[in-house]
Amino acid sequence: MPIKIILLFGGTILAFWVSAITGGGASLILIPVLNGLLPGSVVPFALTIGTCTSSASRIAVFRRHIVWKICWWFVPASIPAVLLGAYLIKYIDPLYLQGVVALFLLANLPQLFVSRKRQVAGERPYPTWVLAIVGALAGFVSGITG
């Protein structure tokens, strides 16, 4: 039993350390470790607790580098949208959801081929209320995709 705890602790620390440096991906590293060491029924709970703790620690560590003006517009719009997306997930066929995600990814494909100089030259600042729309859309997609 102590070896399992040590492996779980070490794997978790490593996964969230990599996630903090790269900006994400801890769950992809951690799910196989958790599945090997914990019963399958508690893996989502353990992953949620780890992600929440990691997010809180990132906020504490990087708080001076966070642009809080963006957060004040983005977060309040995203929370109800996450709840709506999570509610609607039981009514939407996964095949339709997969198709919509595929279309979204294909629609963004041309952006890969636009030169960086052309992107910077054509940029203009957006009004701050656009952040609320982006927050709501991001929250809805997060809620509906799980």
pLDDT band at 146 (very low <50, low <70, confident <90, very high): low
Give the torsion through C-alpha atoms of 144, 34, 21, 68, to 10 deg.
Answer: 40
Percent of the chain residues topping a pLDDT of 70: 92
pLDDT band at 143 (very low <50, low <70, confident <90, very high): confident
The answer to whether 83 and 143 have CB atoms below 8 angstroms apart is yes
Amino acid at 118: R
| pLDDT tops 70 at residue 136 | yes
Three-class SS of the chain: CHHHHHHHHHHHHHHHHHHHHHCCCHHHHHHHHHHHHCCHHHHHHHHHHHHHHHHHHHHHHCHHHCCHHHHHHHHHHHHHHHHHHHHHCCCCCHHHHHHHHHHHHHHCHHHHHCCHHHHHHCCCCCCCCHHHHHHHHHHHHHHHHC
Q: How many CB atoms lie within 10 A of CB 40?
A: 8
Report, as an integer, the average pLDDT of 94-108. Answer: 84
Cα separation, 143 vs 123, in Å, equals 30
What confidence score (pLDDT) does residue 122 get?
62
Q: Which of 8-12, 36-40, 51-55, 67-71 has the highest mean pLDDT?
A: 67-71
